[in-house]
């Protein structure tokens, strides 16, 4: 029997050179408040194996993380989009930490028509939390996107940078009613650079970490322009300046921690707990929160 053929959009499975957005790093001044917000409120999971002391915390969200060193304050100039299994339960958790976070910048609102919960951390970092949908499937827990506010007139050059220098998939579109460059940053993950007319704060050193397949190609292009900020080790380097390849003009500053797919931590499995489990309402075998739904089989 001949199996009936079906048309598939094979381009949906293309990743480009950036194969994963692994973590976003922002400094926090108080780890106890960070635990209240990221672990109790958002319901994320503290990495039990790494950075278990009081000087840093890694918070797992699916296969990505937030890195939260306790030595200052950094605020990302934009919004982090997170996919979560249940927004109603998220709102209940955020209500629980409201008193503990009183006097900080913490606040949240459930924008049901827009389909997300808007959250601000105690120090001003902004998040949008979405329920899993056709746009995020099969991921149901993870960093969906990081959106950066950028100056007017820069999105086209930024798209060229990621396409020509980093080898990433990139395109221009509208995002929140403004022109934006959208960069493929892994499976169902994006970096979004949205143009805005407001004055932007100075870059404060926050960073994100990406894995790339062609590790040496972008390195060579950045090195010949003198833009390698750190030579960390055999598997990692960093750069900050995003420039327009057409004219060399620096358009935006963002610290990129770039790792090869041969990095020892590539593909490391993250532990994700079910934040709704309690000792008073415990269900055996449901302690783990699956970050991925069942995907298409053979």
Q: What is the pLDDT along the chain (298 residues), one digit of tens a residue?
A: 556 667 888 888 888 999 999 999 999 999 999 999 999 999 999 999 998 889 999 999 999 999 999 999 999 999 999 999 999 999 999 999 999 999 999 999 999 988 999 999 999 999 999 998 888 888 899 999 999 999 999 999 999 999 999 999 999 999 999 999 999 999 999 999 999 999 999 999 999 999 999 999 999 999 999 999 999 999 999 999 999 999 999 999 999 999 999 999 999 999 999 888 777 777 776 667 776 665 555 4
pLDDT at 13: 85
Q: Does residue 10 form part of some domain?
A: no
Chain Cα centroid distance, residue 252: 18
pLDDT at 231: 97
DSSP three-state, residue 243: strand
Q: Does residue 81 form part of some domain?
A: yes
CATH code of residue 84: 3.10.180.10
Q: Report how far residue 73's alpha carbon sits from residue 71's, in angstroms, rounded to the nearest whole number.
A: 7
Q: Report how far residue 152's alpha carbon sits from residue 154's, in angstroms, rounded to the nearest whole number.
A: 6
Residues 184, 176 contacting (CB under 8 angstroms): no
Half-sphere exposure of 49 (CA within 13 A, CB side): 7
Q: Report how far residue 182's alpha carbon sits from residue 204's, in angstroms, rounded to the nearest whole number.
A: 23
Q: Looking at residue 76, what DSSP letter applies?
A: -
- Residue 82, domain extent: 27-202
Q: Report how far residue 273's alpha carbon sits from residue 43's, in angstroms, rounded to the nearest whole number.
A: 8
Nearest to 90 by CA among 117, 60, 124: 117
Q: Report how far residue 126's alpha carbon sits from residue 105's, in angstroms, rounded to the nearest whole number.
A: 10
Q: Does residue 266 form part of some domain?
A: no
Q: Does residue 131 form part of some domain?
A: yes
Number of domains in the chain: 1
Nearest to 62 by CA among 283, 205, 268: 268
Helix (H) or strand (E) holding 222: helix 216-223
Q: Does residue 50 form part of some domain?
A: yes
């Amino acid at each position: 029997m001949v199996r009936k053929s079906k048309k598939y959009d094979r381009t949906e499975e293309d990743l480009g050179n950036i194969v994963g957005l692994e973590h976003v790093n922002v400094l926090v001044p108080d780890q106890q408040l960070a635990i209240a917000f990221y672990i109790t409120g958002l319901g994320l999971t503290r990495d039990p194996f790494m950075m278990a002391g009081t000087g840093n915390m890694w918070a797992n969200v699916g296969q990505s993380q937030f890195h939260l060193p306790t030595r200052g304050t950094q605020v990302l100039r934009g919004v982090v989009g997170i996919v979560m299994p249940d927004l109603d339960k998220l709102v209940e958790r955020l209500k629980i930490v409201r008193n503990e976070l009183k006097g900080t910048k913490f606040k949240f609102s459930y924008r049901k028509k827009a389909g997300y919960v808007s959250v601000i951390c105690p120090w001003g970092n902004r998040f949008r939390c979405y329920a899993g949908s056709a746009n995020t499937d099969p991921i149901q827990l993870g960093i969906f996107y990081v959106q950066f506010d950028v100056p007017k007139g820069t999105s086209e050059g930024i798209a060229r940078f990621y396409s020509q220098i980093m080898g990433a998939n990139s395109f221009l579109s509208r995002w929140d009613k403004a022109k934006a460059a959208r960069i493929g940053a892994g499976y169902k993950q994006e970096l979004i650079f949205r143009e805005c007319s407001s004055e932007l704060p100075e870059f404060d050193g926050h960073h994100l970490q990406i894995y790339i397949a062609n590790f040496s190609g972008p390195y060579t292009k950045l090195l010949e322009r003198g833009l390698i900020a750190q030579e960390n080790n055999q598997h990692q380097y960093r750069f900050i300046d995003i420039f327009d390849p057409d004219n060399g003009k620096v358009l935006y500053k963002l610290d990129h921690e770039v790792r090869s797919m041969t990095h020892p931590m590539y593909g490391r499995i993250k532990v994700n707990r079910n934040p709704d489990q309690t000792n008073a309402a415990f269900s055996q075998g449901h302690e783990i929160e699956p970050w991925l739904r069942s995907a298409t089989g053979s």
